[in-house]
């Protein structure tokens, strides 16, 4: 389902798509866009789930359990995946930095590998 023209949603068990679509419209720089997407998603899920925002043009590996939301948002032709989930692992095989990824929740990080825990 397309929401707000720039957000495409595949899974939205929690009904948070409109809140995230509103966040997309407000940012004027890419790192701010990525951070805001992460924060908006985290608060939209009631601070109950882990959140990952990632530049889908980069190589990655994800193993998420209990996915409650998945969508994608575009900033200046760059597509970002947005996940809200219970626990799991994620490996960033590309470049780091706020312009490419942001995550929030309960986790342990070792470089580009993040292990997420349930709250």
**27-68 per-position pLDDT tens digit:** 568 888 899 899 999 999 999 999 999 999 999 999 999 999
Mean local confidence (pLDDT), 12-18: 68
H or E element, residue 38: helix 30-44
Query: For 31, how many CA atoms within 13 A lie in the half-sphere containing its CB?
Result: 4
Q: Is the pLDDT of residue 19 over 60?
A: yes
Residue 107 carries which DSSP code?
E
Q: So what's the pLDDT on residue 1?
A: 44
Report how far Cα 67 is from the mean position of its chain's Cα atoms.
Answer: 12
Confidence of residue 14 (pLDDT cuts 50, 70, 90): low
For range 10-29, the mean pLDDT: 65
């Amino acid at each position: 389902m397309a929401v707000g023209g720039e957000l495409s949603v595949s899974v939205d068990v929690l009904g948070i798509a409109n809140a995230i679509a509103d966040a997309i419209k407000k940012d004027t720089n890419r790192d701010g866009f990525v951070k805001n997407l992460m924060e908006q998603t985290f608060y939209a899920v009631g601070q109950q789930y882990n959140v990952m925002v990632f530049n889908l043009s980069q190589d990655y590996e994800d193993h998420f359990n209990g996915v409650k939301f998945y969508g994608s948002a575009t900033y200046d032709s760059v597509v970002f995946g947005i996940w809200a989930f219970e626990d799991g692992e994620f490996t960033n095989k590309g470049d780091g930095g706020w312009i490419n990824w942001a995550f929030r929740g309960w986790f342990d990080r070792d470089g580009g590998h993040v292990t997420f825990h349930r709250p």
